[in-house]
Chains A and B, each alone.
Chain A
Amino acid sequence: QVQLVQSGAEVKKPGASVKVSCKASGYTFTSYDINWVRQATGQGLEWMGWMNPNSGNTGYAQKFQGRVTMTRNTSISTAYMELSSLRSEDTAVYYCARGMGIPWSGYPYWGQGTLVTVSS
């Protein structure tokens, strides 16, 4: 069965960077886009960007341009999301989500979420 397993919780200081991993199993990793979505405590979902694991092509929300980098290691079926210049407002649960094969159709598979806490 399809599974996305994310790395564990992180605590970072303001100005630092965080790199969250998302290990895929149960399907061909390079066949489906990976998107990243975050959710601050008590707040709504916020789309951050997408990556095509086959080509490595990416697209980011304007809000995160210049601060976010999405990469992958196809040999271990793992996607990564790195966010730099962290500030307190970046404290949130970060999710990876797999697409349906048709870009932008929807995300039927999600990771369990990774809590990133930014605090001095």
Chain B
Amino acid sequence: QSALTQPASVSGSPGQSITISCTGTSSDVGGYNYVSWYQQHPGKAPKLMIYEVSNRPSGVPDRFSGSKSGNTASLTISGLQAEDEADYYCSSYTSSSTQVFGGGTKLTVL
């Protein structure tokens, strides 16, 4: 199972919006609504930000939103804040009854 494809890096200024894409296939992202997104700060465990494509766990700001179109899922962060600077990973269920992560995207807040 190949890793999902994410851009290596994205950047934005405080207050702006950014979108991180996550491209898979019809056997993973496109075939199921089990896409999740994780935020990871250096030296910390990942934190779940979005589950089942577009749902936010309690405590996650509504600045974070998720969507999916075909084989590509997206995470959008609006009103960027300094503390949003982190690595972001997407993940999807697959037709092999396994999970696969994306390669990760480093978000820089300028």
Spell out A's residues near B (CB within 8 Å).
35, 37, 44-47, 50, 59, 61-62, 95, 97, 100, 102, 104-108, 110-113
Q: Is the CB of B46 within 8 A of A105?
A: no
Q: Tell me, yes or no, whether B93 is within 8 Å of chain A by CB.
A: yes
The 10 listed contacts between A and B (C-beta, < 8 Å) are A35-B99, A37-B101, A44-B102, A59-B98, A61-B1, A106-B34, A106-B51, A106-B57, A108-B48, A111-B45
Question: In the complex, what residues of B have CB within 8 A of residue A108's CB?
Answer: 48, 51, 57
Question: In the complex, what residues of B have CB within 8 A of residue A113's CB?
Answer: 45
Which of B32, B93, B98, B99 counts the most chain A CB atoms within 10 A? B99
Which partner residue on chain A sits nearest B96 by CB separation? Answer: A62
Q: Is the CB of B101 within 8 A of A45?
A: yes
Number of interface residues of B (CB under 8 A): 27
Which partner residue on chain B sits nearest A61 by CB separation? Answer: B98
Contact with A along B95-110 (1 / 0, CB 8 A): 0111111111000000
| Known A59-B97, A62-B96, A104-B99: A45·B1 in contact at CB below 8 Å | no
| Known A44-B104, A45-B104: A100·B89 in contact at CB below 8 Å | no
Q: Which of A62, A97, A100, A110 has a CB less than 8 Å from the CB of B51?
A: A100
Spell out B's residues near A (CB within 8 Å).
1, 3, 32, 34, 36, 38, 40, 45-48, 50-52, 57, 89, 91, 93, 96-104
Which of A35, A59, A97, A107 counts the most chain B CB atoms within 10 A? A107
Q: Which of A50, A61, A62, A110 has a CB less than 8 Å from the CB of B46?
A: A110
Q: How far is the CB of B79 from chain A (nearest CB, A)?
A: 23
Q: Is the CB of B36 within 8 A of A44?
A: no
Q: How far is the CB of A63 from chain B (nearest CB, A)?
A: 8
Q: Is the CB of A105 within 8 A of B1?
A: no
Question: In the complex, what residues of A have CB within 8 A of residue B50's CB?
Answer: 106
Q: Is the CB of B101 within 8 A of A105?
A: no
Which partner residue on chain B sits nearest A109 by CB separation? Answer: B48
Q: Which of A47, A50, A102, A112 has a CB less than 8 Å from the CB of B101?
A: A47
Q: Is the CB of B100 within 8 A of A106?
A: no
Which partner residue on chain B sits nearest A46 by CB separation? Answer: B101
